[in-house]
Structures are given as structure tokens and as C-alpha cells.
Amino acid sequence: MSLSRAKPWLAVWLLTLLTGASAFGQGVRDMQLFAPAEIDGFGNGARADEGFFFQFDGLYWWILPPDTDPVGFPDLTREVFYSPEEGTTQSNTIDNSNLTADAVGGQRYEFGCIRGHHGFMFSILDLTHQNQRLVYSDVDMVFNDVPFQHPGTGLHGHLHGYVSDVVTATTDDAEYENSVLRDLPVTFEEVVIRNRVSIWGTEADYIFRTHPAHHGGIFEILCGVRYFEFEERFSFEGIGDRFERAFGEIDEDTGEPTGAPIGPGTILDETFYWMDSRNHIIGPQFGLRWFRQSKRWTMSTEARFFAGFNIQNLKLEGTLGTELDEEDPSSRTQDIPVQFMPFVPLMRPVGFKHSRTEEEWSPGVELRFDLQYKLTRAVDFKVGWTGMWIDGIARSSNLIDYTLTENRIMGIDLKDNRQGVFMHGLNIGFNINR
């Protein structure tokens, strides 16, 4: 989520903070932000900061990738043909395992007010997009192509079509023979995979602060509500040249092949789709923070637990074979146009849209460890580590159903819409009066 979205929430939380300020007395003690630091221990005169406070953290986090799944229907092979008699077994050659836990930047803002034992706090978490782009060559892909009754050609799947023995071929003419219906291969000359993750969240908490313990440590108990967004888009684009891959590169002057064939033609040239999964999580939160000051140094640890109700908005959209012939498959005969040699699929270009809304349980845990150095009475420099784990998350690349039926092209598979996601990283920032 971009900073443009964080700004309105900052304004809302600040307005709420100012509205409730009168109940908590004055803000930063004496408003002397840059007065000399008080470095005595809590038991010798120094006390925990009270009044308004503000914290800023610059974040450098890693977001773990989704579970590994193939790009294509899992655990399935197809017997496909490159000529009427020559066939091979085709399987998926790529998966999503090359998606990695790339690091991203971001910000975290926390502000509120505490007086005596009681206080309140608002927080905003905003990470930049985690963008990944992967490029593959010569990719085989397997669909679960369910046969159905084609007009005039019998029981066949979408990826059935004519295969021929080619005698000669140019870009304008061809001689071929022995055209028969077979399962056709799906091989892309180039595939581009893109994956984008967006994370944003906000929370509001009541704070109860205890008396200092015997050795100077102080506990703060938090309870409130948290809202969290985890959004991901997985996109696929497959391209290739049917003619050159089947017959070799073409001479621009003569229009005839000049070299050996590159490989089997790409029958689904210009295939693309994208899968969006939007996890919107809201629920109660409870937390515990412990901190202790020793001269200029303050060490703190914190744990937060939230019980999230996750509304998953899922959407799959795309087109298979935009370069296929628009001709009605029922009119296909063995008079095959040269641009489709040596394969002529029975299917036409077909677009699809699928959407689902699911409700899941998404508990989460957040842990923090921070070390602060007091620069002045009210300003601290801080460094630390944050780790967060959330369950029940839908990840886009694991939700795609690569099944083709008479009435449905691909779909959304909910067998793995409850993944655990772990993200963690470093934070560097400053505190004012915290």
C-alpha cells in the first residue's frame, strides 16, 4: 500500500488523538524535546515518559514466498503429437519455486498518549510492493483438457486439433498430407511470470502501564483492534511464433524457410492471465510490552496476538490463444490454412473471468525486539527486529485451476487458500517521548 493511502489514516488517527487529548493532561513534558537526557535509573529519579508520543520506523523486511506449485495442472502428463504418428509425453516444466523472499522497504508510524497507568495508541504499517519478474524459454504446460462433444468432429478436448505431415512450406503456401485429429502440444517460446505482494495495516490499542518492577522494568498491556491487508497478484504471459518454430526462420525475400525448425509451434500464442487474491483481515488484538532503561539505553521486547476474520476476494481473468483463428471450430476441415501448419487446434480464442469470496480464520502473532539510545530528554534513536506470522492467507499462484471443460475455461481452486505467511526484518527510526 502506498504512502498516499497512509496519509488519510494518519489524519484520522491524529484527529482522534487530539480529540481525546484533554483527558490526559499535558503532552511532552515541559515541551522541551531537546533538553539534556535524564540518565539515572528508574529507581533513582528518572521515570517513564508520559504524555503524547510518536514513533517512526523505517522498515527493511523479507516476505516469504508461497508454497511451491507447478504452472499448469499438477501431477498430470499429456500424450501429444507433432505429426500424425510422432508423439511424446508432455509435463509442466516450470513452477513458482523461483519466487523468493525478496526484501522490501516501508514505514511504521505509532503515536498516542499515556498518563499514569492509562493511555492509547494508534499504528500504521505500510510496506512497498514486493515485485518479482521471471522469464523462461521453451516452456511446456499441461492443462486438464476434459473431452466433450464437438460438432462434426466427435469427442475431443479444447487442445485437440489437426496434425499433418508437411511436404513443403512457405509463408504463403504449403503442401501437407495425412491430416488427423490428435492431442496438440502446448509449448511457449517465452513465458513471463510476474508476482506482486502489497501489505498495509492499521490498529488502535488501549494501554495499561504497570508500576516499575523491583529491578526497574515496566510492563505495558495492550488491547484493541487491528486491520490488515495482504494482497497478491500472479500474472502469466506466454508467447511464441507458430510458423518459425515449426519450419525454421523465413527468408524475407523468398518467403521460404532458411534453417532447421526451432521446435514445435505454439498453438496458444499470446496466452495471458492474472490471479488476484485480496485478504482483508480484522479482529481483536492483545499485546504485552516490557521495557527497561539503564542510563541512556532502553531495551524493549513486545508480543502482539490478534484473532483475525479474513474476507478473501479472489479473481482470475485472462485469455487463451489470442492468435488462434476466430473461425467456428465446427466448420474446420482438413483444408488447413498454411499459417496454422502443422497444428490446427479446434478451439478459438477464449477469454474467461472467475471470482470467489471466501471467509477464513486468520490468527496472527507479532514479535518485536528494540534497542533505544536516548539522545535528549524526549528523543531516542532506535534499532530493532520485527517478525510477523499470519495464518489463513490466500496466495495467488496456488489458487489457479488449469482445467478446461466444455463450459468452463480454467478456474479458482480453493484447496490451498489457507497458507501461513511469515515476514520479518529490521527497523531503524526514532521515538519522541516514548
DSSP string, 172-222: S-EEEEEEEEEEPP-EEEEEEEEEEEEEEEEEEEEEEEPPP-TTS-EEEEE
Q: Over the Cα atoms of the chain, what is R_g?
A: 30
CB 418 within 8 A of CB 392: yes
Q: What is the pTM of this model?
A: 0.84
Fold of 3-432: Lipocalin (2.40.128)
What cell was used for 274?
492474472
Residue 54 has pLDDT above 70, yes or no: yes
Helices and strands (H and E) in the chain: how many: 2, 20
Q: In this structure, what are the phi and psi dihedrals at residue 110, rounded to the nearest 5 degrees? A: -140, 135
CB 386 within 8 A of CB 367: yes
Residue 243, H or E segment: helix 242-247
Residue 6, H or E segment: helix 3-19
Residue 24 has pLDDT above 70, yes or no: no
pLDDT at 21: 46
CB 255 within 8 A of CB 176: no
Residue 3, H or E segment: helix 3-19
| pLDDT tens digits, one per residue of 367-416 | 999 999 999 988 999 999 999 999 999 999 999 999 999 999 999 999 99
Residue 4 has pLDDT above 60, yes or no: no
Mean pLDDT of 120-134: 97
| pLDDT tens digits, one per residue of 286-337 | 999 999 988 899 999 999 999 999 999 999 999 998 877 666 554 554 444 4
